[in-house]
Amino acid sequence: MLSEPRSGRLAAWGNGLLAGLVSPDDAVLAIVGDDAVHRVEGLPGETAAVGLTLALGRLRSLGVTGLRVALPAPGHPLGLSGPPEFNARALEAEEAVVCHGAALGLVPEVYEAGPAGDVHVEVVWQVLPVREAPPADVPSLGEAERELAEALREATEVLSRLDVAASGPVAEAAIGAYRARA
């Protein structure tokens, strides 16, 4: 059983390949993992499904400079920037990969066959158009730091106003009752 999403492996090893840090064969072996095979459908310039090695090379030739993981959940489409068809498929799969440098995204479709203990798993990555804009729900690091600092300030003000740190008469009575029993 997998402990990480397939899109995470594709993005991590695909980025390593795009950066020239790993060979195509090593990247594909790591991405496929325990699955039987990964194929890619809908790749621009291809009329049929192609293997992962060719697909990664084709993505590079289309201008892809990086891959980003999207792990959406219903009500929280983290990492998705649209259009609706891509978002719907990614939500259904609960994962996707978005390409940087080309307006493309990949969503895995997993097919399993065979008896228990001898399951054959095939993954078909569907290539779909995406918006090149960054996803609206993912803040930049600076924005995230500002939001966190603001939330901490607000929480501190509320706790100070409620005088949570001080002990009131109810807390003092409970402590007195505890001491009396001891």
Give domain limits for the chain: 6-129, 141-181
Closest CA to 51 of 129, 122, 128: 122
pTM (2 decimals)? 0.71
- 10 Å CB burial of residue 125 (0-12, 13-18, 19+) is buried
CB 53 within 8 A of CB 25: yes
Residues 6+ apart with CB under 8 A from 167: 175
Give residue 116's Cα distance to chain centre.
29
pLDDT value of position 164: 64
Closest CA to 6 of 41, 37, 47: 37
Tokens standing for residue 119:
């399951």
CB 79 within 8 A of CB 106: no
> How do the pLDDT tens digits run along the chain, 182 residues long?
446 899 999 999 999 999 999 999 999 999 999 888 999 999 999 999 999 999 999 999 999 999 999 988 888 777 788 899 999 999 999 999 999 999 999 999 999 988 888 889 999 999 999 987 665 556 667 777 888 888 888 887 887 777 666 667 777 777 778 778 76
